[in-house]
Amino acid sequence: MDDDLISKKELLEITGISYGQLYRWKRKSLIPEDWFIRKSSYTGQETFFPRDKIISRVDKIMNMKDELSLDELADVFSPNAGETSLSSIQLIARNIVSTVTLDLYVELQGQQEHFTFDNILCLYILEKLLQSGELSRDEGVLLVSTMEEHYGKLAGKSSELILIRKMGVSALFLTESADRLYFDNGVKWVIRLPLASSIEELKLRLSEGGSEG
């Protein structure tokens, strides 16, 4: 069996959750429908899951279910944008973004009275990648322009942000899937970031600060 998959039986055994919990979470959209993969086995049809994704998701649900309702968790895990709208002062005060990153964004996009969730997501990713050193300032400019121009076309979909370099020249783009992208040997993959993970992180950060609009 594919090492990237885990059977339903093994999942229940190693996580300690019940069959009922698993399918209740599915009904509540805490676990995506497309993670339930039906495959033939020697016993007939059996359900499998992407191993790393499902184990990580179950762990998050178990750790957060006492603090958030299942509906609130479903919103956290949803790839759809939240309803949040924050001012630059609120973004700084809640440690979503630093002044340096915000200044770069405003330099490129102009000052805004309030930032939408999509704007904040762009800022959050920019902050994270600049702070980690994975992204240069010039590449940050590419990120902002790419996110602001194209993210709306992929909102609500499973998408990834990709940064590649060749001979010191960077290219950054968004795609629904990077699994079938092929480059020559001179291309270096620098960043492959699933946007869903950043959306989850951001929604949790925003929920910790309470609802503001």
146 located within any domain: yes
What is the pLDDT at residue 213? Answer: 41
78 located within any domain: no
The model's pTM: 0.74
Q: What is the DSSP string of 21-56?
A: HHHHHHHTTSS-GGG-EEEEETTEEEEEEEHHHHHH
Same domain, 89 and 61: no
What are the Cα distances from residue 17, in Å, to 12, 48, 107? 5, 15, 49
pLDDT tens digits for 13-57? 999 999 999 999 999 989 988 899 998 877 778 999 999 989 999
Same domain, 127 and 190: yes
Same domain, 49 and 104: no
117 located within any domain: yes
Q: State the pLDDT confidence band at 206, using cuts at 50, 70 and 90.
A: confident
35 located within any domain: yes
Express as a percent the part of the chain with pLDDT over 90: 54
pLDDT tens digits for 107-161? 999 988 999 999 999 999 999 999 999 999 999 999 999 999 998 888 777 789 9
What the block records as the tokens of 102 is 């915000």
Same domain, 102 and 202: yes
The conformation of residue 83, written as its DSSP 8-state character, comes to -
What is the pLDDT at residue 65? Answer: 87
Same domain, 143 and 112: yes
Same domain, 9 and 62: yes
Same domain, 194 and 110: yes
Q: What domain range includes position 91? A: 85-208
Same domain, 40 and 96: no
Same domain, 95 and 199: yes
- pLDDT at residue 210 greater than cutoff 70: no
pLDDT tens digits for 77-99? 876 656 678 999 999 998 999 99
Q: Which amino acid is at 145?
A: S
77 located within any domain: no
213 located within any domain: no
